[in-house]
Amino acid sequence: MELGEFVDKYILQLKNLQKYYGQMHALKNINLSVKSGEVVVILGPSGCGKSTMLRCVNGLEHIAGGEIIIHDQVITKDFKDWTKIRQYVGMVFQSYELFDHMNVIDNILLGPVKAQKRDKKEVEKEADMWLAKVGLSEKKYAYPKELSGGQKQRIAIVRALCMNPDLMLFDEVTAALDPEIVREVLDVIINLAKEGMTMLIVTHEMEFARAVADKIVFMDAGEIVEESAPEEFFTNPKSERAKKFLNLFSF
Ligand code: ADP
């Protein structure tokens, strides 16, 4: 599927989503819609359920109730066939999870060629294009141990992009990086936003959130507390909980 094919349509909708870990109600009635090309940043204190929400969208967590609608596919708690859905959804985590015994290009080709059964040469062309865009063409044959954390994370992003997802999920992808290399990874995401990639981003980088987001979703204690345009959220948050959260950061 090409980017832009679903213009003005929701790529993702969450309806009354419920998630428990044992007795703990981790997601309480989550409702959220993401349009094609939209960049949604999820903010909130640690432990409020941000990561859980992303993991539910990628089928990594079992949901207790409600619906996840990806394109026109309605996913409820008994849904099992995530293989097709995961082709639409790319996810990048805090840890890069590259295979150390494989070089960069083999790491990138693995999913598209083995799982998606796509033509190796065609995917390699795409990989070359993305590697150039993230400034890492010269690392094509390097091994992960020869790369910095920021470079590994950029490779992990290229690997996800080469699966041709319609929606990218970023779960605190700069949290484990040294401060001086955070920027190089954030810049890649900002460029993806400019190219029209639909993204759901969890981050603690407030200036980045303000710059990249079309919409800020603020969560606390498993709930969406407010949903606003970035300027509105950062200058005039509606809830006391958001005000308290923003006070932790200096602007
Ligand atoms: P955030 O991403 O906002 O920091 P998480 O989604 O990681 O929050 O976690 C939400 C809540 O669910 C937290 O209270 C956390 O301790 C709990 N939690 C997360 N993962 C698990 C798990 N696998 N088992 C039990 N509890 C979990």
pLDDT digit string, tens, across residues 181-236: 999 999 999 999 999 999 999 999 999 999 999 999 999 999 999 999 999 999 99
- Whose Cα sits closest to atom 12 in ligand 1? 26
pLDDT of residue 9: 83
Sequence-ordered list of residues with C-beta below 8 angstroms from that of 221, at least 6 positions apart, any chain:
28, 48, 49
- The finding on whether 48 has its CB within 6 A of some atom of ligand 1 is yes
240: Cα within 13 Å, side-chain hemisphere: 0
Residues 118, 183: Cα–Cα separation, whole Å: 33
Two structure tokens written together for 13:
């909708």
d(CA 29, ligand 1 centre) in Å: 16
pLDDT band of 239, cuts 50, 70, 90: very high
What is the β-pairing status of strands 215-220 and 223-228?
antiparallel
pLDDT of residue 7: 47
How does pLDDT run across 64-117, given as a tens digit for each residue?
Answer: 999 999 988 999 999 988 888 888 999 999 988 899 999 999 999 999 999 899
**Which ligand 1 atom is the nearest neighbour of the CA of 51?**
2
End-to-end CA distance of the chain: 40
Q: Is 164 exposed, middle or buried (0-12, 13-18, 19+ CB in 10 A)?
A: middle
Q: Which of 62, 68, 59 is nearest to 12 (CA)?
A: 68
* Predicted model pTM: 0.93
**Which ligand 1 atom is the nearest neighbour of the CA of 44?**
3
Mean pLDDT score, 164-177: 95
Q: Are 240 and 38 in contact (CB under 8 A)?
A: no
